[in-house]
Amino acid sequence: MVVKTFRGLLADGGQDHIRLQTNDGKVGYRVTKFQIMGPNANIDIEVVIKIYKDKQTTITTDIDFSDSNLLAAATINDSQDRHYAPPPIVIFDNEVFNQDIYITNDGHDNPTSVNYYIELEVIPLTSANAEYTTIKDIRGRNTT
């Protein structure tokens, strides 16, 4: 299995663009790992990090799994006053896509920058699968 990795530090209210699109669309991807952590252990943090198949015009803390463009979501809700910090909650879809993806970060009471790490399985696509996946991704994009 071939895996591509991406990582970064995403500011509160920020959005990163990961370029994956190829000319022929014959390379597909599937999220196999999505991890997040705060910038240090000495701060309170409440954030929602999401991976989308399209660029977001509004970045929010709302998570809606009925949104066909949402590929993954993760939350951190941690206070330095706690004796035990709950691990981040991470959920991702098993969907294959072949277009660029976008990562967003939005905080609530204690917003901050967040580190993310993503592993994508690289999946060779036939011409027919590439066409189907590209059309599915384009049709599913937000039109707002």
Residue 28 has pLDDT above 80, yes or no: yes
Counted domains in the chain: 1
- Give the bridge partners for 5, in sequence order: 119
pLDDT in tens, 2-19: 999 999 999 999 999 999
Q: Which domain, by its residues, includes 128?
A: 2-139
pLDDT at 34: 93
Residue 24 has pLDDT above 60, yes or no: yes
Q: Residue 24 maps to which CATH number?
A: 2.60.120
What's the Cα-to-Cα distance from 46 to each of 18, 68, 82, 116, 123, rounded to whole Å?
Answer: 24, 25, 14, 15, 34
pLDDT at 120: 96
**How many Å apart are CA 104 and CA 97, to the nearest integer?**
18
Neighbours of 10 (CB within 10 A): 19
Model confidence, pTM? 0.86
Q: Is residue 32 part of a domain?
A: yes
